Structure 1
Amino acid sequence: MSLVAEAELETLSPFELSLYLERQIDPHQGLPLLNAGRGNPNWTAPTPREAFFLLGQFAVQETLRSTPQLTARQIQPSARRVTRFDAFLAGHAGPGATFLKTVREAPADQLGEPFAAWLTQACDAIIGDNYPAPVRCLPVAAQPLKAYLTAELFQDRQLAFDVFPTEGGTAGICYLFDTLMHTGLLDAGDRIALFLPTFAPYLELPKLPHYRFDVVKIRAHQVQEAGGRTSYWYADEELAKLRDPRVKAAFIVNPSNPTANAMAPATLKTLQKLVAGPRPDLMILSDDVYGTFVPQFLSVFAALPHNTALLYSFSKYFGATGWRVGALAVAKDNIFDELIARLPSNVKTRVDARYASVTTDPDRLGFIDRLVADSRDIALNHAAGLSGPQQVMSALFALYGLATEGRAYKREVINICRTREKQLLAVMGMAEPLPALDTAYYCDIDLLKWITARYGPAFAKYLQKHWTVTQLLVALAKQQHVMLLKTSDFGSTPWAVRVSLANLATSQYEEIGTRLIALMDGIRSAWQKEALA
């Protein structure tokens, strides 16, 4: 994008504005660029990755056992495979091998089957020489994913549910919306609720021509707890909007992006009462990608499994955005199947016809298997499913999260985010969030509120009259080489900006606060000189 007029910058989405500004900054002149607008983490989990590549090496060796030539061979059943695997690990000492030894001893409730069977399936899947079968989820990944979600998102509540590994969280949300439409559970123009603030694209999706949803916005507001800590709460009058029977579905990002705040236990209880009372038919879609950054997180799915479809991704927690690995979860007993069974006869006839090539008995085709079929436009259902290597990586991430080292990794990642948050907020003189609900992955800062507290209401009033958030972000980028993301398009307050705490060096977050203060000091000095002139 070439240089554009200032007025045109106001119309750009937060992400497009960020990309535009990044191209305008010469990184070789002036201060080093600090781009805190991106949410891609700057950490990775090396141990499960090392384990993945070791397992891949072992699997390749297994394909060559019957012939030394580089011919096409497949993984065959073998009674001595585990023995060879043990010898292989002994010759490749390191964290990856140590972790695979942990997998070797993992209990059945994590692997779902004896290790020998799991290893053979893992070798076949990581080679990637067969179509995924079953198409929804390979056995090598099914139980590890369930055990991981149960431990990390459900506080060990034992729920009966199925999983569908997807190409990251973005694919999962697309699949969900499409299948809700294909099954007649939602129609174009239907009323849905969005819990705000939320990830900006989730506000844009409902506007697409094939959806045109009537969106009810349920807004959280920031509150200050005892001791000055902050958090975000949904007032009763906001949640009461869900009593409207015309609201067919509610979409929640929990913990939220950009507020980085998990839903409070009191809100979960209110939702439970709502579903137990006037809204037993409410469909809930919950994106829990940031849940693993909260030490004692409880998903909406765990509180309301019958009514909720869960979306999770390994991308942020394991620094795996490039892997594109996530999963959908739906309870075995769920509202989606119930509502499909209760569709009006004319709608049900149309829906049954859509899935006729998949099954001769559509009534027995569950919602989650409709998601799988729709992900490949029905006709290609036989070739559906996440790739075998991706499912193995998902399984290893999940098993690592359950291991002792994985729990230490969790403490380390949480500490990284919270240290960065403390440094930024200390420089800016702002209160820290309530730790029990805070992911510290992002910081959503109301600039006007901060400016009023730091510089006084007169200067804040001047800024409101003569500046916009976009203009401030442009000035911050050009003068101070700091990039932040405006979040009014996320449903935040008009003067809010998001600081990603995930993608820069820890030492640089104090510098972000310092440069932001330097910009505002400069603007205030100019304002004061103008007033004296």
Structure 2
Amino acid sequence: MGADCLRAHVLLIWCLTGLPAPHPGAYGSPCVFACCHRWSSIMEPDPLRISPFSAKDMLVAHARDVLGPDAALLDASRGGPNWQLRTVQCAWHVLGLYADYCYGGPNDLPSVRVLAPDPPTDHAAHFRRFADSVRDLRESLCLGMEYVERVWDYLHLEVYPDRWIGESIGAFALAMTAGYYPSPATLDFLPPIASRFLARTFGVQQAPEDFDLFLGHGATGTFGAVVACMARNELLRPGDKVAMVWPWYEPMKDLFENQYGCEVIPIQRRREQLWEADESALAALDDPDLRLLVIVSPGNPVDTTLDDGLLSRIEQAVERNPDLVILCDYVYANFVETGYDNILRRAWRNVVAFYAPSKDLGLVGARLGVAWIPTASPLNRRLLQMSPARARKVDARYASRSPRRRPGFYDRLVMDGSHVSFSHMAGLPTPSQVLLALCMLFPLAAPDEAGHYFRWVRTELRGRMEALYDGLGMERESCTDVCRSNYCALLPLDEVAANQGPRCAEAFSRVPLWSFLEHLAHSRGTIIMPGPAFGGEAESARICLTSLNKGAYRQVGRNIAEAVGDYTFPTPCQHCR
């Protein structure tokens, strides 16, 4: 027995190192290798039951193993745009140069900058001199300078009409030096800009003081921070019911189900109903025990907004259950026509809205996320309604940092963002907050250029979607009652097979989804993601339309159709398992 265990351990280590497996007769009984093989099978993850993003990495690795490490892949799984708006980024660099011009350095060591708390500078005149000196040096500086000057005009005329413009210029310049910790965590110039951005994008006409503005690392990072703060304060507990509009963005389901132990209830939308919600699924909204509703609109992987019927039922649910909290990620909103209906318009006090203005402009690596938290949010009301015992328990975490008053949800969120103990240094880096302000100001201060840009984005994405379906040789389903972002697609592979005839459909119905995705990866170097993890149909795949050009998406469509057709008259593929 001891020898067999030793052999099994040796073989298990051998398998884990990736070395070729020994002959079954080596090291004694053949059953030892069989035991090791069973262990290896147990440890192999089911790629359709893990994160689809991890599964995508497995497909990329598989394609490179077969095709070579330098093979050019058509990766249609990535969500980051392959374009950037230069105007805002150039303006940010211009402000960095102005901060250096403004503060300078000592004569004995010019490479050092000494910051004065309140430099006696006429920033309006100082900036004009700076602009005249650098405007014509490079096209990128001229582009950025023109936008910065529009920003100063907008701030002076629309945001701070009673304030000397030099104060705004000075606040931006000081933030660009990165010489101070954010104080407050969200710099003062951001909330009035954010409220105007919210009004223009979603039609929500509320005063800046109606919302607390929380900043984080992208919309998802900000979303995760809000949920974590809810859990720490027992506003979300294991077993709580969380409704999610389905198909959904998989990491959000994982967050509630696996990280916080909640019961996730799907509000099912189906393709055959043009992505409107099932009447039976809407019953979840009538449950008085429902604590939270999670929405992505426009969706991912289904790129539609919510239909009027679902919005009305949510509105009724809020009327019956005023403590219902709605977390809504609107990160693709500017990829559709502005002004589409949304639950933020209808029930803003109950909605925590999330957005990533930097993603609009292709600056995904900046990771700039915003959450608008209503000051009248049920989150604050539920904190106040806690029993004395529970209140003492959750308040203890913040007692040393908020000794004179019981903090509201937003204050707890800010402190949690710096692990409470370091809350005196809370907030995004100050240069990042300037970039965030410039991103949100773009449609406000430069509406003509922004209109042209977003029309180009929508036309480009629509063209890529048409190219994908042209390559597939199919027509996309039409949805007339909702808006579409064309950011992504949930492709029914069984319909791709049916489009090639009954023989192909019958043959493809016997093919496991993962086997097909691997075949597509190694036979044609094309990467798409499994759809079921996002709540899609069993034979579906998620495709992002942001990372390749139109010609590439046409080829992606052809490759998918051809790979599906391979099963009609199958020939052995040496790389298929």
- Per the TM superposition, whether the score is higher than 0.5 is yes
Q: Secondary structure at the match of 2:564?
A: helix
State the AA in 2 paired with 1:183: N
Whole-angstrom CA distance in 2 between matches of 1:374 and 1:48: 31
Correspondent of 1:459 among 481, 501, 504:
504
Amino acid at match of 1:218: I
8 Å CA contact 1:184, 1:343 repeated in 2: no
Q: Does 1:201 align with 2:247?
A: no
Measure how far apart 1:10 and its partner are. 4.7
Contiguous gaps of at least 5 residues in structure 1: 225-230, 528-533
Aligned residue runs from structure 1 range 212-291, under 5 A: 212-223=261-272, 231-276=274-319, 278-291=320-333
Q: Equivalent residue for 2:97?
A: 57
Deviation at 1:71, TM superposition (A): 2.9
Q: Which amino acid aligns with 1:42?
A: N
Match of 1:383 in 2: 425
Instruction: Indicate the SS of the match to 1:206.
Output: helix
Does structure 2 retain, via aligned residues, the 8 Å contact 1:425–1:432?
A: no
What CA distance in whole angstroms lies between the structure 1 residues aligned with 2:164 and 2:62? 57
Q: After superposition, where does 1:87-486 map in structure 2 within 5 Å?
A: 87-90=129-132, 91-93=134-136, 94-107=142-155, 111-112=159-160, 114-135=164-185, 137-152=186-201, 154-158=202-206, 160-208=210-258, 211-223=260-272, 231-276=274-319, 278-296=320-338, 297-363=340-406, 365-402=407-444, 403-404=446-447, 405-428=449-472, 429-434=474-479, 436-452=482-498, 454-464=499-509, 466-486=510-530
Provide closer, same or farther for how the CA distance between residues 431 and 384 of structure 1 changes in structure 2, counting only shifts above 3 A. Answer: same
| Deviation readout 1:185-215 (Å, 9 max, x if unpaired) | 1112222112211111111112335x11111
For residue 433 of structure 1, report the CA deviation from its aligned partner: 4.3
Report how far residue 97 of structure 1 moved: 0.9
Question: What is the CA–CA distance in structure 2 between the aligned matches of 1:105 and 1:437, rounded to whole Å?
Answer: 34
- What's the TM-score once normalised by structure 2's chain length? 0.84
CA change 1:331–1:117 in 2 (3 A) is: same
The amino acid that maps onto 1:96 is G
1:24 maps to amino acid? H
Alignment correspondent of 1:42:
82
The one-letter code sitting in structure 2 at the alignment partner of 1:100 is V
CA contact (8 A) 1:146 1:163 kept: no
> One-letter code of the match for 2:372?
A
2:285/2:313 contact within 8 Å kept: no
| CA drift at 1:401 | 2.6
| Cα shift at 1:295 | 0.8
2: distance between equivalents of 1:134 and 1:107?
20
User: Quick one: distance in 2 between partners of 1:214 and 1:372?
Assistant: 27
Range moving further from structure 2, 94-103 or 517-526: 517-526
Q: CA deviation at 1:492?
A: 1.2
CA RMSD of aligned residues (A): 2.5
* TM-score, length of structure 1 as denominator length: 0.90
- Do 1:185 and 1:339's aligned partners in 2 also have CA atoms closer than 8 Å? yes
The alpha-carbon distance between structure 1 residues 232 and 114, as it changes in their structure 2 partners (threshold 3 A), is: farther
Give the share of equivalent positions with the same residue, in percent: 25
Could you tell me how far apart the structure 1 residues matched to 2:156 and 2:239 are? 47
Q: Which runs of 4+ in 1 moved over 4 A?
A: 1-12, 26-32, 65-68, 107-114
Provide the secondary structure at the position in 1 that maps to 2:59. helix
Kept in 1, the 8 Å contact 2:48–2:530? The answer is: no
**Higher Rg:** 2
Aligned counterparts of 1:383 and 1:335: Cα–Cα separation in 2: 28
How far apart are the structure 1 equivalents of 2:130 and 2:45?
63
What are the ranges of 5 or more consecutive residues in structure 2 without an aligned counterpart? 1-15, 20-39, 137-141, 572-577
Contact 1:109–1:143 under 8 Å retained in 2: no
Given the superposition, is the C-alpha separation of residues 110 and 320 from structure 1 closer, same or farther in structure 2, using an over 3 Å criterion? farther
Confirm or deny that 1:16 pairs with 2:54: yes
Residue identity in the other structure for 1:508: A
Query: Quick one: distance in 2 between partners of 1:222 and 1:312?
Result: 27
8 Å contact 1:425–1:431 — kept in the other structure? yes
- Tell me if the contact between 2:214 and 2:372 (Cα under 8 Å) persists in the aligned partners: yes
CA distance in 1, matches of 2:432, 2:158: 18
